[in-house]
Structure 1
Amino acid sequence: MSSPDGSSKKEGGQATSVTERVWESQTGWIVRAREQGQLIIDFEGNTAGPLEARTTVELSPEELRTAIAGRRPVELRFENGDPRLPVVVGIAPVISLNDLLQGLTRSHEDEEEASGEPASEEEGVRIIQARDELVIQCGKASITLRRNGKVIIKGTYVETHAEGVNRIKGGSVQVN
């Protein structure tokens, strides 16, 4: 993938050069896998196009198909900070919203059992936390919450309803 002159080849075979090192992990996705098992990945901000990646994660053929079809997030690191040399070091687990809600309900019941007292009405709020990014995804629809405060809502059709005012607030608001 990389050559002695510091250039590397993207999936199409043309050489690219390093512009900026990336030392922190990035979230990406698997685009496809070659017959020999090499993963082809992509990530936000990647201007080189899909890249071949090494991996430290074992995936069964079924898990791989599901990850590609659902565009499941993968955690990427980069060899020597080179964004052209990605390494898949983790993959987001598949958790259905139903499983997540059952887990939250179960933990609430466990808290009540441990304390011997029912939780107060003020404790009726459940918080789901993630260190860097939280993605809720179903097919082509997703909601992404990022540590820096950015919220991304994607879908083939996005609809909002309100019985009262439906407000959009921001430093600037762009429509179309």
Structure 2
Amino acid sequence: MIAEHKTVDGVVIGMILGFRGAAPLVVFPGNPKEEAIPARSLARLAGEDVGAEVALLFEEGDRMRPLIVGKLVEPARDDAAPLVVADGQMLRLTAKERIELRVGRSSIVMEADGHITIRGTDLVSHAARSNRIRGGSVNLN
């Protein structure tokens, strides 16, 4: 006896496991078989797509008739966007040209060329141990 399969409305995310001839073989949540099912595709697919996630619709809602409507891709990352890494112990901001921290009348500006500017109405430096100022030359006032 063949079990009735509920029809599917909407998109289901599946995965390409391989090909049988030209037909991509897909698995997906609610797959009525214990193996991948051949699918039709609106997208051009090739061997390098094995393992890719795909958006599936089903002809007449039938889970045995998957139709690949597209391949999911990771969004492109803008290399110009700053990179922020935070793990609870450390916070790292990385940018190509400049990082600025500003609040009220104070700021810290770091440039890619190594130039750092610290500005504020009052600037205080405290050290429990030594407090050193080093540089090729040190100018005070």
TM-score between both structures, scaled by the size of structure 2? 0.51
C-alpha separation between the residues in 1 aligned to 2:79 and 2:70? 25
8 A Cα contact 1:21 1:81, kept in partner: yes
For the residues of structure 2 that align with 1:22 and 1:119, how far apart are their CA atoms?
A: 51
- The 1:66/1:23 distance shift into structure 2, 3 A limit, reads same
Q: How far apart are 1:31 and its partner, in Å?
A: 1.1
Alignment check: 8 A CA contact 1:27 1:73 kept: yes
Unmatched segments (≥5 aa) in structure 1: 1-14, 110-117, 122-176
* 2:77 aligned residue: 100
- Aligned-partner Cα distance in 1 for 2:8–2:69: 15
Q: Would you say 1:46 and 2:31 are equivalent positions?
A: yes
Within 5 A, what are the aligned runs for 1:152-171? none
Asked if the contact 2:5–2:32 (Cα under 8 Å) also holds between the matched residues in 1, the reply is: no
Identity %: 22
Q: Is the 8 A contact 1:18 1:84 kept in 2?
A: no
Query: Which one has a larger percent strand, Structure 1 or Structure 2?
Result: 2
What amino acid does structure 2 have at the position aligned with 1:67? Answer: D
> Does the CA contact (< 8 Å) of 1:21 and 1:83 recur in 2?
yes
Structure with greater helix percent: 1
Listed as ranges, the matches of 1:133-152 within 5 Å are none
The answer for the alignment partner of 1:78 in structure 2 is 58
**CA distance in structure 2 between the aligned counterparts of 1:58 and 1:34, rounded to whole angstroms:** 15
How far off its partner does 1:46 sit? 1.2
- The C-alpha deviation readout for 1:76-100, integer Å capped at 9, x for no partner, is 00001111110000001256xxx52
- Gapped regions of structure 2 (runs ≥ 5): 84-94, 104-141
Between the aligned partners of 1:120 and 1:25, the Cα distance in structure 2 is 45
How many residue pairs end up in the alignment? 87
Provide, for residues 121-147 of structure 1, a one-character-per-residue CA deviation record: whole Å limited to 9, x for no partner.
8xxxxxxxxxxxxxxxxxxxxxxxxxx
Match of 2:43 among 57, 62, 66: 57
Distance 1:22 1:88 in 2: 14
SS at match of 1:66: helix
Please say if residues 8 and 61 of structure 2, whose CA atoms lie closer than 8 Å, have aligned partners that are also in contact.
yes
> How far apart, CA to CA, are the structure 2 residues paired with 1:74 and 1:16?
27
Q: Give the number of the structure whose alpha-carbon radius of gyration is greater.
A: 2
Correspondences of 1:17-56 after superposition (within 5 Å): 18-35=4-21, 37-48=22-33, 49-56=35-42
